[in-house]
């Protein structure tokens, strides 16, 4: 189970990296946090810019 989770998060990280790079290009140097929750049959990715 843990191995499967590790592989899943590695896959999600690969998927998110180009999106993250594009967002950073678009909005400048604002730090961004990605929250990824994987439920049954769906992935929810929440992108939250950090203010401050």
Residue 11 burial (CB count, 10 A): 10
How many helical (H) and strand (E) elements, i.e. helices and strands, does the chain have?
Answer: 1, 2
Instruction: Please state the domain extents for the chain.
Output: 2-49
Q: What is the pLDDT of residue 5?
A: 73
Q: What is the pLDDT of residue 49?
A: 66
Q: What is the pLDDT along the chain (52 residues), one digit of tens a residue?
A: 577 777 777 777 787 778 777 776 776 666 666 666 666 766 666 666 666 5
Q: What is the pLDDT of residue 50?
A: 65
């Amino acid at each position: 189970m843990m191995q499967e989770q590790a592989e899943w998060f590695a896959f999600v990280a690969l998927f998110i990296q180009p999106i993250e790079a594009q967002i950073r290009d678009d909005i400048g140097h604002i730090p961004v946090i990605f929250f990824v929750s994987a439920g049954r049959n769906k992935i929810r990715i929440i992108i939250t810019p950090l203010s401050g």
